[in-house]
Structure 1
Amino acid sequence: MSGIIRKIISTSKAPRPVAPYNQAVQLDNTLYVSGVLGLNKDTMKLVEGGAAAEAREALCSLGHILEEAGSSYDNVVKSTIFLNNIDDFAAVNEVYKEFFTKNHPARSTYQVGKLPLGANVEIEVIAAVGNVTHVTSKI
């Protein structure tokens, strides 16, 4: 019986976790990225400009974490977006589509009661690591 490798992923290019968790954990070829806030990695404070600005910062940080693991936005299979206010849905979508331009992942978006540090948005993903062949089923 072969062992399964659990690898902790961490990069200084993204904000450090704000609680006892890792930026990401890779289990074989699957990467689980923890929720990312729109934090400036140097100050550990939320960027100014509301939900869209926070989403952009979170997605940039997310990209650094994916890269550290040998993955990419294109390999994300599932994303979850948590919003402080569902009225920010359209603004966050405008930013989101700048980063996910093709082979869009499955996605859920929720309005939640409250996010850490008073954030407007938090984004988590599950991604594949390695070479992925993208195939579209016919509808």
Structure 2
Amino acid sequence: MRKTFGTGSVWEQKVGYSRAVQVDNTLYISATAASGEDGVVGADFYTQTRFILDKLGTVLADAGFDYADVVQSKLYLTDISQWEEAGRAHGEVFGEIRPSLALVHVLPFLDPKMLVEIELVAQKSTS
């Protein structure tokens, strides 16, 4: 089974991607930034990370998953020295769940106000 989830963004059609793709019992969520209706939300690593994780909670729920199903998390940071602030927000959501984690230092994103992007993989237990 393969199912795609979108946001309706013009970029999804233009670039050819989905917000999330479910294959059987696994959900792959594309890298997501702190973009809201009025542009980038937050000007620091903690606020952006927390906003993104809340946004991804909705993506998970829409696909029938939960934070507890997340097995892998990747945080892309434009300033690796700010990893503790991003990590603090990540720990507030995943502290007890403890998915695998990658902290990746990247060049600036298309919009320089974007400081963080997060990508998740979630998997439902088959037992």
The TM-score with structure 2 as length reference comes to 0.87
**Please, which runs of 5 or more residues in structure 2 have no aligned partner?**
none
Deviations 1:74-133 (CA, angstroms, capped at 9, x unpaired) = 11001111000001100011111111131210011111112232211000011014x567
Point out 4+ residue stretches in structure 1 off by more than 6 angstroms: none
**Relative contact order: is structure 1 or structure 2 higher (C-alpha 8 Å, sep ≥ 6)?**
2
Alignment of 1:92-131 (within 5 A): 92-118=86-112, 119-129=114-124, 131=125
RMSD after superposition: 1.9
* Counterpart check, 1:35 vs 2:45: no
Bigger Rg over Cα: 1
What is the distance in 1 between the residues matched to 2:64 and 2:90? Answer: 21
Larger relative helix fraction: 2
SS at match of 2:101: strand
Aligned-residue identity in percent: 29
**Please, which runs of 5 or more residues in structure 1 have no aligned partner?**
134-139
SS at match of 1:117: coil
Asked whether the equivalents of residues 71 and 99 of structure 2 are also in contact (C-alpha less than 8 Å), the reply is yes
The TM-score with structure 1 as length reference comes to 0.80
Alignment of 1:74-93 (within 5 A): 74-93=68-87
Asked whether the equivalents of residues 25 and 126 of structure 2 are also in contact (C-alpha less than 8 Å), the reply is no
Deviations 1:29-51 (CA, angstroms, capped at 9, x unpaired) = 110000010111x22x1113311
How many equivalent residue pairs? 123
Alpha-carbon offset, residue 18 of structure 1 = 4.3
Larger relative strand fraction: 2
